[in-house]
Chains A and B, each alone.
Chain A
Amino acid sequence: MSQDVLVIGGGIAGIQASLDLAEMGLKVKMVERLPSIGGVMAQLDKTFPTNDCAI
Chain B
Amino acid sequence: MEKVEGDAGNFKITVRKKARYVDDSKCTGCGSCAEKCPTSVIDDYNEGLAERKAIYKYFAQGIPSVFTIDAPHCRQLGQGKKCGVCAKVCQAGAVDFEQKDQIIEFEVGAIISAVGYQVFDPSVIPEYGYGKIDNVVTAIEFERLLSASGPTGGHLDRPSDMKTEKEIGELKKQVNKAGKGLQRFEEKFREASAEFHKKVESGAVSPDDEQVEWMTKYAEFAGMESRLHSLEEKAAKFDVATHLAFIQCVGSRDFRFYPFCSGYCCMHSVKEAIIAKEHESRTNSFVFGMDIRAVGKGFEEYKVRGGKESGIQYIRGRVAEITEGPDNNPLVWYEDTRVREVKAKEVDMVILATACSPARGLDKLAGILDIELDEYGFIKTNPINPLDTTRKGVFTCGCAQAPMDIPESVAQASSAAARAAELVIQIEEKQVA
Contact = CB atoms under 8 A, between A and B. Distances in A.
Chains A and B are bound partners: yes
A2 B425 CA distance: 9
Interface in B222-274: 267-268, 270-271, 274
A21 B114 contact: no
Given A12-B406, A35-B20, A47-B271, A17 B59 contact: no
B267 A13 contact: no
B417 A20 contact: yes
Interface in B96-118: 106-117
Contacts of B9: 1-2
Contact of A17 (B15, B154, B414, B427): B414
Interface string B407-425: 0011011101110110011
Given A2-B10, A3-B425, A26-B421, A12 B414 contact: no
B299 interface: yes
Given A31-B1, A40-B117, A13 B409 contact: yes
A4 B71 CA distance: 33
Interface residues of B, number: 74
7 contacts: A1-B10, A2-B108, A11-B114, A12-B406, A13-B416, A42-B59, A45-B154
B3 to A, nearest CB: 12
> Chain B: interface secondary structure?
mixed
Given A1-B10, A24-B421, 14 more contacts: A2-B109, A4-B106, A8-B1, A11-B409, A13-B399, A13-B400, A14-B112, A16-B413, A20-B417, A29-B15, A34-B58, A45-B143, A45-B150, A55-B59
Contacts of B13: 6, 29
Nearest to A36: B62
Interface of B: 1, 9-11, 13, 15, 18, 20, 45, 47, 56-59, 61-64, 66, 68, 106-117, 140, 143-144, 146-148, 150, 154, 267-268, 270-271, 274-275, 296-299, 301-302, 365, 397-400, 405-406, 409-410, 412-414, 416-418, 420-421, 424-425, 427-428, 431
A3 B397 contact: no
B275 A21 contact: no
Interface string A5-46: 111110111111110110010100101011111111111111
A49 B407 CA distance: 10
Contact of B108 (A5, A36, A38): A5
B425 A38 contact: no
